[in-house]
Structures are given as C-alpha cells and as structure tokens.
Amino acid sequence: MILNGGRLLRLSLDKVSGSGFVSKNEFLFGRIDMQIKLVRGNSAGTVTAFYLSSQGPAHDEIDFEFLGNLSGNPYTLHTNVCTQGKGNREQQIRLWFDPTMAFHTYSIVWNAQRIIFLVDNIPIRVFNNLESIGVPFPKNQPMRIYSSLWNADDWATMGGLVKTDWTKAPFTAAFRNFKANACVLAPGTSACIRTASTQDSGWQDQALDASGRKWIQWVQKNHMVYNYCKDVKRFPKGLLPECKRSRFL
C-alpha cells in the first residue's frame, strides 16, 4: 500500500503471499537511508529485509534482515555481505529498542574502502576492503535497493523452532523517507548521473571516527549474539582471513 501521497509505503504478508519493492535506479557506491517500522506483536517466522543487490548467480549483496520473534522478545538484526554469489559473513545483534513502536533509520554506507551499517546513525558493523589479502569486496557490480516481507519460519526464529502463527496475519511493516545519496548509473554505462544528492559526497571516503569506534565497540560488547569471525565450529579449517585483520568486523 502506498499512502500519504507516496510518502509512506506498507508491505504485507499473509499465508498466500508476501510483498516487496525495488528501486528504479542502479547504484555503484553511495549512502542509502530508509526509515522502517517493523511488524508488531508476534512476528515469529517473518523476515523484513532491506538490502542492496545486483543480479545473476555471481551477484553482490549487502543485507539488513530483521528476524521476527515472539511477542515481548527483541528483534534480531542480521547483516551479511555477499560477493560474487558467496556470503558466509553473517553477524547478528539484538536491537536495544523496540523497532515496532516508531520509525528508525537504517543506513548502508558503501564506498571503495568499506561498507558501514548504521542504525539511527550509530555504526553497528564495518566491512573493510581487504582485497590485498584475498578477501572479495563488492565494487564492480551496480546494485538496486530492495525491501521485502516474507515467511522464513524454517530458520528465522530460534533456528526454525518457532513457526509463523498465521492467525496473526496479515503482518505489516512500514517504510518512509527513503534517501539515496549515491552514484546513479546512467543506463548502459558505468558513468554516474550527477544529481543534487550526489553533490554531498562525504560517503565516498567515510570511515569510523573516534566516536564511531566507541559506538561499534558498545554494540559488539552489549548486543551482538553472533559473529562469523568467532564461529570456529563452522570454520574448522580456520576462520576467514579478514577475521585476523579487521577489528570491527
């Protein structure tokens, strides 16, 4: 549903179908902001996703996924970076607020040096470009912005133990204030279309400052529940190479 003259969009999920939307433009680097109010009440089994993705089997992808839970339990925010069709770089945190009561801003900063995930402008994760040690980094494929609300009760809540309660359907999530301060690709080229928003180019070399490093340490100490760089059982032959080099993965 598109409401308020196009300023508010709602996605809905029931037992028959989910829903989603995609940007008209493709982007190669930029800052993407979206305000989202997540599914209220018993949202177990549902996933609300907000992500960048290219197309094809060797696609690149930068993910925010919000994993629903039983009423009263916190949402899990799941992030991942996929390059050339391969991911396996998941982190999960518990949000420190109720994301169903009000809109909060979720942002992706993507430049040639790093990817920064932010919640209400607080950095929660940074994925650095470490191609110098053989770590793939998404930098060549333009991506569109996607969002969707779908059923994933085979894995989303407590590893799939808690299933979606369809008597609570329809489940709805709301979106507003989408901003793309980014390089918009001209059709059929690799050149940017210059727009007013691209004049603010701080994202092109944005990094963590001292305050950002303190915030990300706070998030990882108090709210992180899974980090692939700590999962030695999953990677018995050794953790991925960036795990030894990047402090704030």
Q: Return the active site residues.
A: 61, 65
Token output for 129: 């470009």
C-alpha to C-alpha distance for 42 and 31, rounded to whole angstroms: 32
What tokens does 223 get? 């709210």
Residue 98: how many other CB atoms lie within 10 Å = 13
**How many whole angstroms separate alpha carbon 242 and alpha carbon 249?**
8
Q: Check whether the bond before 136 is cis (ω within 30° of 0).
A: no
Half-sphere exposure of 39 (CA within 13 A, CB side): 32
